[in-house]
Structure 1
Amino acid sequence: MDNVAIFVVEEYQPGPGEPPDTELLGLYEGTPLTERDSWWASGSLPDRISIFRGPLMRHCESREELVEEILVTVVHEIAHHFGIDDDRLHELGWG
C-alpha cells in the first residue's frame, strides 16, 4: 500500500444524519485503487484507515477474541482500499 495512513482512534463520531449511537469497528476514507485515474496522483491526500479502540474493546470478551477482531477489521478496511466492497468481503468471510 502506498499513501495510506492508519490510525487508532478511541471512538467513532457519527456524521450528520447518522444515528448518534452508531458504532463502527473501522472505517476506510479515500479513493479505492479501482476508482483512481491519472488525476488522482497529483496532490491527493493520503487515504485514511481508522480503527476504533472503544467499540472493538466493547465488542470482544477476551484478549484472543480482540486480537482476531482487530485482524478482521484491519483486513476489511485494507480491502476497501483495494476496491473490494462489503458484500464481497462478507462472501469471503471478512465481513
Structure 2
Amino acid sequence: MSDLATMRAPGLAEIEALAHDAFAALPAEFRALCEGVAIHVDDFPDGETLDEMGCESEFDLLGLFRGVGLAQSGEVETGRMPNAVWLYRRPLLDYWAEHGETLGDLVTHVLVHEIGHHFGLSDDDMARIEAAAESD
C-alpha cells in the first residue's frame, strides 16, 4: 500500500505547530517586536471577515492580521483586542495542493507576510525577513 493511500490532510493542530515552528525560526529581534501578537489557526475565515475583505470565496484568504500595527499603536486603548494573526487551514491546503512549495514554506510565507502588517513593512522587507528565517 502506498503512503498516498493512507495519507490524511494536516489538521488545525498540525498547521498551528508549523506556524509556531516558523515563528521560532524567525530572527530574535523580529520575534521580540511581536510580543503579544497571538497566532490562531481556523479552517476558514468567518463570514464577516470574508465580507470585509471583499472575498468571493472562503478559499480566497490564506491569512489575516488584525490589530493596530506598531507604527500606529501609541497608547493602548481600554477594551482593544490584542493583535493577532489568523492562518486559514483549508485555503492554505488548497493553495499548497496547486503549487510546488512545501506546506512549511507556505505557512512561513503567510505568517511572515501577516506579521509584516503589524510592522507596516513593505513586501520587499517581508521577503528579506523570510529569507533570513529559511537560512537559519
TM-score, normalised on structure 2? 0.55
Instruction: Write the letter of the residue equivalent to 1:56.
Output: L
> Is it true that 1:58 corresponds to 2:128 in the alignment?
no
For the structure 1 residues 26 and 16, does the alpha-carbon distance in structure 2 shift closer, same or farther, using more than 3 Å as the test?
closer
Partner of 1:30: 67
Give % identity: 28
Gap runs ≥5 in structure 1: none
1:45-94, CA deviations, whole angstroms, 9 ceiling, x for partnerless residues? 2112100000110011389621110010111111111122xxx21x3463
Shift of 1:27: 0.1
Instruction: Write the letter of the residue equivalent to 2:86.
Output: S
After TM superposition, where is structure 1 displaced by more than 4 Å over at least 4 residues in a row? none
1 CA distance for matches of 2:39 and 2:72? Answer: 20
2 CA distance for matches of 1:20 and 1:51? Answer: 18
> Is it true that 1:76 corresponds to 2:109 in the alignment?
no
2 CA distance for matches of 1:71 and 1:55? Answer: 15
Higher strand share: 1
Q: Which moved more, 1:59-68 or 1:24-33?
A: 59-68
TM-score, normalised on structure 1? 0.76
For the structure 1 residues 80 and 67, does the alpha-carbon distance in structure 2 shift closer, same or farther, using more than 3 Å as the test?
same
Higher helix share: 2
**Rg larger in structure:** 2
